[in-house]
């Protein structure tokens, strides 16, 4: 297959974007992606994209034959979140606003519709469109027929524990709805078959156990099919196959690290279709007509694609594209219904993403645009997947990034970058702005998926329960010492940095390993575990309370002993604390109390309080200032000029 590169970005958005920088500076790493996603219309006449203009995501609609189009901007505080082609020339999209609880803007629960030419824009459902308080979302996989779209409605009842969703068909033009199912459990996710019959509803109950309900068709009674509380396996339905005779389930697999199972509708037997060796299913690759799955994507180290049907057109296309982009990940993001035109994304650890359009008739792929055109992939650093054993023998996986062009370098200054979550979240082989910024400044960067991280099976997640400051922290320490033992890191020049749980781990690392880390950066972190039960948005529901009891435990003496604030006298490293004034997930009191405790102990430290940010900085200027101050702080602790500085 011949790949042609056409040097034109999407005309509808290009004029609104600032000029590209000559070289990557810290501000370039702080910028949001210029384009986040792109989807082609079912008939191939249009493209839709969420493009970032003036720091906010808009919906861009582009006619393919001339690459001209329009940008649709939500309200002043809003951004376009997700979007779906629901008809050849009709798009649904959701809106997000900055609510401060999380780093990214949160969904408002509203669904808008617009024609492909930018006309006919309407708010179809949401609290601004209805007299009652209701939010909505698309039921996935997307089902559309006869101008009807299957959605899930959530009526706000004032309960922090959520509501019972209602599955409805919505008219794509008028927004009128017809209800077809009420979930038998709060906060359920629906799964429909290829005829639009809502057959599954699943959710994690307040006892933190998964329930999966099933029914034969619309109008039939729900029955409890799998109940983790009764010893059933924790499996989730993902989608039906083409003839609706089987259902793909996310399951543990034979090695209990994740797999794909097939549930037969007639026999009700669950059989393993694929088992991961090290990691489970990331996602299923759908067929062009969206009625089946053709491949499995997983990430044991780098991204891996396993074909379910090797003879499928989609599989053959993937097989033909991959050799054209060696060392990169190739994934199909959208296609026309007949597969004549396909949009695919090429990305990697150094490439944040480039979109292409494949034309089956011409047999070639044409470049559309890059997510971050100001970043040059060839100048970025490579992430090397690594594996090691924790002190108790548990297998750990992660990534080591060395400065660009220094892939074999030894005795480097090291930053241990700990991900947040902590449960169910993982570090991934992908472009990471913080990692690349640090590598660009000459640091090796270590990321470890400590026990509790996602992607490696339920047992691995559960192994992290009640292990804050204990085995989870030991995993980070063991990985750090492993890099030193390999000769890669200079043992006298190591810093630890992380956000949310990662901020906790950074300061707990400074407490537990005072001679290992020269500096610790806590970004919107938790520093007093006891406050998790009384402050923030998690303990405001029965679900949240039970979650905390499960993952933290209730022994206050243990919680206090494992809190960094309880042992500031042990800290020898330099410390930097970063707090968002509007953070509802980890309220500012966490950082403020540690700030005061450090002052009381006469421990000098850097303090960054950004009043308008939440659980992670989002504004581009604030992010640039954040990265600059972190880089300056780390430079002062383990940079070239700090090499001979005394420890502590």
What whole-number percentage of the chain has pLDDT above 90?
A: 86
57 Cβ contact list (under 8 Å, min separation 6): 32, 36, 50, 51, 79, 80, 81
Helices (H), 296-418: 313-321
Residue 277 has pLDDT above 50, yes or no: yes
Evaluate the omega torsion of the peptide bond into residue 107 and state whether it is cis, within 30 degrees of 0: no
Q: What is the mean pLDDT of residues 203-232?
A: 96
Residue 24 has pLDDT above 90, yes or no: no
| pLDDT band per the 50, 70, 90 thresholds, residue 6 | very low
Q: Identify the pLDDT of residue 647.
A: 41
Residue 1 has pLDDT above 70, yes or no: no
Q: Identify the pLDDT of residue 98.
A: 65
89 Cβ contact list (under 8 Å, min separation 6): 41, 43, 45, 46, 115, 116, 117
Residue 102 has pLDDT above 80, yes or no: no
So where are the chain's domains?
A: 381-642
Q: Identify the pLDDT of residue 134.
A: 87
192 Cβ contact list (under 8 Å, min separation 6): 139, 141, 143, 150, 167, 198, 199, 240
Percent helix, strand, coil in the chain (nearest 5)? 20, 35, 45
Alpha-carbon distances of 397 from 258, 304, 479, rounded to whole Å: 15, 15, 9
SS3 400: strand
| pLDDT band per the 50, 70, 90 thresholds, residue 104 | low
Start-to-end CA distance of the chain, whole Å, equals: 59
The span from the CA of 181 to the CA of 152, in Å, is 9
pLDDT digits (tens, 9 = 90+) for 507-522: 999 999 999 999 999 9
543 Cβ contact list (under 8 Å, min separation 6): 161, 162, 187, 204, 206
pLDDT digits (tens, 9 = 90+) for 26-79: 999 999 999 999 999 999 999 999 999 888 899 999 999 999 989 998 876 789
- How many CB atoms are located within 10 Å of the residue 199 CB? 23
Please provide the CATH number assigned to the domain covering 381-642.
3.40.50.1820
Q: Quote the pTM value.
A: 0.92
| pLDDT band per the 50, 70, 90 thresholds, residue 15 | very low
- How many CB atoms are located within 10 Å of the residue 345 CB? 20
Burial class (CB in 10 A: 0-12, 13-18, 19+), 19: exposed
pLDDT digits (tens, 9 = 90+) for 521-573: 999 999 999 999 999 999 888 889 999 999 999 999 999 999 999 999 999 99
Residue from 65, 60, 64 nearest 49 by CA? 60
pLDDT digits (tens, 9 = 90+) for 416-449: 999 999 999 999 999 999 999 999 999 999 999 9
Evaluate the omega torsion of the peptide bond into residue 390 and state whether it is cis, within 30 degrees of 0: no
Specify whether the backbone of 364 is left (phi greater than 0), alpha (psi in -120 to 50) or beta: beta
CA–chain centroid gap for 425, Å, is 8
Angle between helices 433-440 and 620-638 (to 10 degrees): 40
Q: Identify the pLDDT of residue 76.
A: 67
Q: Identify the pLDDT of residue 131.
A: 52
Q: Identify the pLDDT of residue 231.
A: 95
Q: Identify the pLDDT of residue 130.
A: 63
pLDDT digits (tens, 9 = 90+) for 161-194: 789 999 999 999 999 999 999 999 999 999 999 9
User: Which tokens in the block code for residue 187?
Assistant: 């906060």
**Does residue 642 or residue 207 have the better pLDDT?**
207
Q: Identify the pLDDT of residue 289.
A: 94
Q: Identify the pLDDT of residue 201.
A: 98
The span from the CA of 320 to the CA of 314, in Å, is 10
Q: Identify the pLDDT of residue 23.
A: 41
Q: Which residue has the tokens 């609706």?
A: 244
Residue-averaged pLDDT of the chain: 92
**Does residue 253 or residue 107 have the better pLDDT?**
253
pLDDT digits (tens, 9 = 90+) for 605-638: 999 999 999 999 999 999 999 999 999 999 999 9
CA–chain centroid gap for 328, Å, is 19
Kindly report the backbone phi and psi dihedral angles of residue 538, in degrees, each rounded to the nearest multiple of 5, phi listed first.
Answer: -70, -50
Kindly report the backbone phi and psi dihedral angles of residue 578, in degrees, each rounded to the nearest multiple of 5, phi listed first.
Answer: -125, 125
Q: What is the mean pLDDT of residues 270-291?
A: 96
């Amino acid at each position: 297959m011949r790949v042609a590169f056409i040097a034109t970005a999407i005309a509808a958005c290009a004029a609104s974007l600032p000029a590209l920088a000559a070289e990557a500076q810290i501000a370039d790493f702080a910028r949001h992606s210029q384009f986040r996603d792109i989807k082609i219309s079912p008939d191939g006449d249009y493209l839709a994209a969420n493009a970032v203009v003036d720091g906010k995501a808009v919906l861009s609609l582009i006619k393919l034959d001339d690459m001209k189009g329009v940008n649709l901007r939500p309200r002043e505080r809003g951004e376009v979140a997700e979007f779906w082609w629901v008809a050849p020339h009709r798009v649904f999209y959701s809106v997000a606003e900055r609510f401060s609880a999380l780093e990214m803007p949160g969904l408002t629960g509203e669904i808008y519709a617009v024609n492909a030419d930018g006309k006919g824009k309407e708010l179809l459902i949401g609290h601004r469109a209805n007299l009652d308080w209701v939010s909505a979302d698309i039921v996935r996989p997307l089902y559309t027929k006869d101008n009807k779209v299957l959605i899930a409605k959530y009526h706000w009842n004032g309960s922090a524990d959520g509501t019972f969703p209602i599955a409805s068909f919505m008219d794509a033009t008028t927004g009128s709805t017809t209800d077809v199912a009420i979930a038998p459990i709060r906060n359920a996710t629906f799964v429909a078959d290829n005829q639009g019959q809502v057959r599954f509803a699943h959710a994690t109950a307040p006892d933190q156990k998964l329930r999966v309900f099933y029914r034969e068709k619309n109008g039939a009674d729900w029955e409890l099919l799998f109940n983790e509380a009764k010893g059933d396996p924790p499996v989730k339905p993902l989608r039906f196959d083409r003839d609706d005779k089987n259902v793909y389930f996310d399951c543990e697999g034979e090695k209990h690290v994740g797999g794909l199972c097939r549930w037969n509708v007639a026999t009700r037997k669950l059989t393993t279709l694929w088992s991961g060796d090290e990691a489970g299913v990331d996602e299923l690759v759908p067929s062009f007509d969206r009625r089946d799955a053709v491949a499995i994507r997983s990430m044991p180290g780098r991204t891996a694609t396993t074909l379910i049907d090797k003879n499928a057109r989609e599989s053959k296309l993937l097989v033909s594209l991959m050799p054209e982009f060696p060392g990169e990940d190739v994934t199909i993001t959208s296609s026309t219904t007949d597969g004549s035109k396909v949009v695919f994304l090429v990305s990697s650890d150094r490439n944040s993403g480039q979109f292409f359009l494949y034309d089956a008739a011409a047999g070639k792929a044409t470049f559309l645009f890059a997510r971050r055109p100001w970043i040059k992939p060839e100048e970025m650093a490579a992430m090397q997947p690594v594996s090691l054993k924790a002190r108790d023998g548990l297998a750990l996986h992660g990534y080591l990034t060395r400065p660009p062009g220094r892939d074999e370098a030894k005795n480097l200054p090291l930053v241990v970058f700990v991900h947040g979550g902590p449960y169910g979240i993982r570090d991934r082989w992908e472009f990471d702005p913080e990692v690349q910024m640090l590598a660009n400044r000459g640091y090796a960067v270590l990321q470890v998926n400590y026990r509790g991280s996602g992607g490696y099976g339920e047992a691995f997640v559960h192994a992290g329960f009640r292990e804050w400051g204990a085995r989870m922290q030991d995993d980070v320490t063991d990985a750090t010492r492993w890099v030193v033992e390999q000769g890669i890191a200079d043992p006298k020049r190591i810093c630890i940095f992380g956000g949310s749980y990662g901020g906790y781990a950074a300061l707990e690392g400074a407490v537990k390993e005072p001679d290992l880390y020269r500096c610790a950066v806590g970004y919107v972190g938790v520093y007093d575990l006891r406050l998790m039960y009384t402050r923030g948005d998690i303990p405001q529901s029965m679900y949240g309370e039970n979650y905390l009891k499960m993952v933290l435990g209730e022994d206050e003496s243990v919680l206090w002993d494992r809190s960094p604030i309880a042992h500031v006298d042990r800290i020898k490293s330099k410390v930097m604390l970063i707090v968002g004034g509007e953070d509802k997930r980890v309220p500012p009191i966490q950082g403020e109390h540690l700030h005061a405790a450090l002052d009381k102990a006469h421990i000098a430290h850097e303090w960054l309080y950004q009043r308008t940010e939440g659980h992670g900085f989002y504004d581009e200027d604030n992010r640039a200032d954040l990265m600059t101050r972190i880089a300056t702080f780390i430079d002062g602790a383990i940079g070239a000029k700090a090499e001979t500085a005394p420890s502590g």
